[in-house]
């Protein structure tokens, strides 16, 4: 017969003895460098080529009318010599306006209702100007004129001389420029041989390229903005 006995053994002691928990060195947190991201802008799409049309002699936009309230003016106190209206034998002594002179439009001899004939000129050109290194100018040989007459008819003519600009910003056909539209006269040697439409433009243009025409007449269409 085999006999067995249950005995309680002591808990073994580990070797080496681990350090107490409170004696452990604290862990230092590391700060990582911030990551940066560079955003590259996407290139803008290129617009299709346009053919700008510039209007010569268009009326300037009128500013809005602003009404200011003001107190009633003080009554005028006449002084000696004022208010003497009638003269002897002269009838009513007003300095008012008389009737207009004879004649029509701007051909009359009086004040009339004219001032300038009705009409308008539009110019168009396609593509950018070409820089000429010999002259130092940006040049165009593709300018077309559209002449609008007082009776509502129009005529288109291709100009046969070179237009020159000192810079691209002075080229009114450049879509990125805001230059004023001035007519450039042809060389003197060929002015007499130009067609009637060009003769009409020259007769109604000032020396610096401005126009004498009134484009606010009923038969004159408004200037177009641009078309491709």
pLDDT tens, residue by residue, 126-151: 999 999 999 999 999 999 999 999 99
User: What is the reported pLDDT for 176?
Assistant: 83
Residues of the domain holding 130: 50-55+115-217
The reply to whether 68 falls in a domain is no
pLDDT: which is higher, 66 or 38: 38
Six-digit token pair at 165? 């600009």
Q: Minimal CA–CA distance to 182: which of 193, 171, 168?
A: 171
Look at residue 7 and tell me if it is in a domain.
Answer: no
Burial readout 153-179 (b: 16 or more C-beta within 10 A, e: otherwise)? ebeebebeebbbbeeeebbbbbeeeee
Q: What is the pLDDT of residues 190-224, one digit of tens each?
A: 999 999 999 999 999 999 999 899 998 999 998 87
Query: Is 87 domain-assigned?
Result: no
| Mean pLDDT of the region 108-123 | 68
- Whether residue 199 lies inside any domain: the answer is yes
CA 21 remoteness from chain centre: 79
Percent of the chain with pLDDT over 70: 49
* pLDDT confidence of residue 204: 95
In a domain, 79, yes or no: no
In a domain, 196, yes or no: yes
Q: Which residues contact 144 (CB under 8 A, 6 or more apart)?
A: 123, 124, 125, 156, 157, 158, 159
Longest dimension (CA), the chain: 174
Percent of the chain with pLDDT over 90: 43
163-165 β-sheet, strand order: 130-132, 137-140, 163-165
- Cα(111)–Cα(97) distance, integer angstroms: 10
For residue 214, give both structure tokens: 């009134």
Contact 131, 122 (CB under 8 A): no
138: number of Cβ within 10 Å: 20
**136 domain-assigned:** yes
Tell me if 109 is assigned to some domain.
no
- Return the higher-pLDDT residue of 186 and 115: 186
Note the pLDDT of residue 29.
47
Length of the chain equals 228
pLDDT of residue 158: 97
- 58 has a pLDDT exceeding 80: no
Q: What is the pLDDT of residues 60-102, one digit of tens each?
A: 344 444 444 444 455 554 444 444 444 444 444 444 444 444 4
How many structural domains compose the chain? 1
């Amino acid at each position: 017969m085999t006999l067995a006995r249950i005995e309680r053994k002591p808990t073994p002691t580990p070797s080496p003895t681990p350090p107490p928990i409170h004696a452990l060195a604290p862990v230092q947190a590391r700060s990582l460098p911030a990551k940066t991201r560079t955003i590259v802008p996407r290139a803008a799409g290129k617009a299709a080529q346009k053919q700008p049309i510039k209007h010569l002699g268009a009326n300037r936009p009128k500013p809005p009318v602003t009404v200011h309230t003001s107190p009633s003016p003080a009554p005028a106190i006449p002084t000696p010599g004022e208010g003497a209206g009638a003269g002897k034998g002269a009838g009513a002594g007003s300095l008012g306006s008389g009737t207009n002179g004879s004649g029509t439009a701007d051909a009359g001899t009086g004040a009339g209702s004219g001032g300038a004939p009705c009409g308008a000129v539009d110019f168009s050109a396609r593509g950018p100007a070409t820089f000429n290194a010999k002259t130092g100018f940006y040049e165009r040989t593709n300018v077309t004129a559209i002449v609008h007459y007082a009776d509502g008819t129009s005529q288109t003519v291709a100009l046969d001389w070179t237009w020159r600009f000192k810079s691209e910003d002075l080229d009114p056909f450049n879509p990125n420029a805001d230059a004023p539209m001035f007519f450039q006269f042809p060389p003197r040697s060929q002015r007499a041989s130009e067609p009637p439409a060009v003769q009409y433009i020259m007769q109604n243009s000032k020396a610096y390229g401005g126009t004498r025409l009134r484009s606010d007449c009923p038969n004159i269409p408004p200037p177009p903005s641009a078309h491709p």
